[in-house]
Structure 1
Amino acid sequence: MTSEWAVVTGAGHGIGAVIARLAAKEGYRVAAWDIDEQAARAVADEIGAGCVAARVDVTDEAAVAEAMAALPDAPALVVNNAGVVRFGPLLELSAADFRLAVDVNLTGTFLVARAAAARMAAAGGGAIVNIASINGIAAAPNAGAYTSSKAAVIKLTEQMALEWSGAGVRVNAVAPGLIHAGMSDAIYADPEVRALRQGRVPLGRLGTAEDVAEAVLFLASPKAAYVTGQTLAVDGGITRSALHRMPRPADVDSVGVDPAGDPAGPDGGR
């Protein structure tokens, strides 16, 4: 068991719990943080030796500072996974719900990352992975404040990476796509909705919490030692699929062929 610590916020449920389990499997000592202390402790008990749980409200600056100071060593990895959704049409979205999404998803990420980076810098470096969303890359109808908050997480990730790189702190983001886990479970409870959404994914399936966790641990690993300030979309290709399965008449497939019959054109394709 390595002495390196990994802090995972929102570790009591869904994707966060899977990330915590995989981090432990990869040899980290895990600090499972969640506002739901009972859920965090259940995950810690399941992982066993080397995992501790704590109730941490990521929007509470003092609570974050206290929990970070309680770690015996600087964390080698911090995963900002805690988040909330408040979906619905913007015209009907309350200011309170908008503020909550921004406070948890964005401000919470900032507070935890800032506290971690200070300790990491003193220890010679570390890795921070922020969980964004494809909603932060492409807007979706009725996504409420979620889209705005996750887009801001992506830009905050870039800002952190620039400012903290000199201290050896790498900061990246993972943007999950259509993931059948955690907060999305309610969406896929309807088989028809699940089939329709799955059919839009170029890889032909919904993602899993394990898909996200593997990406997070890759970005934390030495294999990504030269990667910082990046957002990795774990989405089966959906954010690049505007023309996926778009019909086109077969008789236009030859458009662009050189009159001489050379598909590369008269310049040889240069």
Structure 2
Amino acid sequence: MNPTGQALVVGGSRGIGAAIASALATEGWPTTIAARDSAQLERCRLQAAERGLKLSTARVDVTSQESVERLFGELTPRGELGVCVMAAGRNLSRRLLRPPRDAAEEWSAHDVGEWRDMVDLSLTGTFLVGRAAALSMARTGTRGVLIPIVSSTWQGSWGQSAYTAAKAGVVSLTRSWALELGEFGIRAVAIAPGVVDGAALREKCARNPAHARYMERLRQQVPLRRFAAEQEVAAAAVHVAANQYLTGTVLEVAGGGFPPRIH
């Protein structure tokens, strides 16, 4: 690969985002990780320095237009932007309706506040970052790429109304951006991982045996009978950055498919 410009990974201080940032930096991209957690950002910076990687950090709140614009103002003096990965987000499992567990309880429904928080973070946050990145690339004439990280559940998943709707919206953004921005040489490709076997998942399973049993049932329903490694998702991002004719699509890294409901 012959990197052009710099790379930005928003939501890159841990998990998939951190793995992607490390992979891009290893390939020679001057890389910036942007996230909200200052302490985690500092840990990333120190770890990169120990490995001799060219990696910078910056704080950002993707739900704030002002914060996103400030981030891109800081990036401009560092050179043109060639890759922008949007990995900020979190999972949310909430059923639309929950039946009463006993005669004393009432039916409950998905909280609208949680819905709005998820849409703000995953969908509006991606829009704000993607818009700023596209504008930066267009102004400098950079043939760059926008890479939103979605989920293999974007086509719908039991118990995840807000999460999957937001991710489906990001897929639609990606395809629309590819159509609009192609004339400027700017590409857009979404990466959709299945379950990723990272530190967060292992810690949750260690704390909650019931969740560990659930995840084991899920693993058995993935065709490859295993979850993805963070480095495998990162390798997909490096491939997208390198392939100049790849745009307007969703690259699934899901081991053959994520089951819509776990049995």
| TM-score calculated relative to the size of structure 1 | 0.83
Residue 117 of structure 2 is matched in structure 1 by 100
1:111–1:182: structure 2 CA closer, same or farther, 3 Å change rule? farther
Residue 254 of structure 2 is matched in structure 1 by 235
SS in 2 for 1:134: coil
Structure number with bigger Rg: 1
Q: After the TM superposition, which segments of 4 or more aligned residues of structure 1 sit over 6 Å from their partners?
A: none
1-structure distance, mates of 2:119, 2:80:
27
Alignment of structure 1 residues 1-270 onto 2, 5 Å? 4-48=5-49, 50-71=54-75, 72-91=78-97, 92-124=109-141, 125-137=143-155, 139-181=156-198, 184-185=201-202, 188-189=205-206, 190=209, 191-221=212-242, 224-239=243-258
SS in 2 for 1:145: helix
Q: Which has the higher contact order (CA 8 A, sep 6+)?
A: 2
| TM-score calculated relative to the size of structure 2 | 0.85
On the 8 A contact 2:60/2:67 being kept in 1, the answer is yes
On the 8 A contact 2:4/2:82 being kept in 1, the answer is no
Query: Could you give the per-residue CA deviations for residues 243-265 of structure 1, whole angstroms, max 9, x where no partner exists?
Result: xxxxxxxxxxxxxxxxxxxxxxx
On the 8 A contact 2:123/2:169 being kept in 1, the answer is yes
User: How big is the shift at 1:50?
Assistant: 2.1
SS in 2 for 1:129: strand
Farther-moved stretch of structure 1 (27-36 vs 173-182): 173-182
1-structure distance, mates of 2:246, 2:20:
20
User: How big is the shift at 1:188?
Assistant: 4.2
On the 8 A contact 1:157/1:229 being kept in 2, the answer is yes
SS in 1 for 2:128: helix
SS in 1 for 2:153: helix
Unaligned runs of 5+ in 1: 243-270
Query: Could you give the per-residue CA deviations for residues 179-205 of structure 1, whole angstroms, max 9, x where no partner exists?
Result: 222654466444433321111111121
Query: Could you give the per-residue CA deviations for residues 179-236 of structure 1, whole angstroms, max 9, x where no partner exists?
Result: 2226544664444333211111111211111111111111111xx2111110011000
Unaligned runs of 5+ in 2: 98-108
Query: Could you give the per-residue CA deviations for residues 29-75 of structure 1, whole angstroms, max 9, x where no partner exists?
Result: 11110111211221122112521111100111111111112112221
SS in 2 for 1:238: coil
2-structure distance, mates of 1:176, 1:187:
19
1-structure distance, mates of 2:218, 2:88:
24
Identity of aligned residues (%): 33
SS in 2 for 1:174: strand
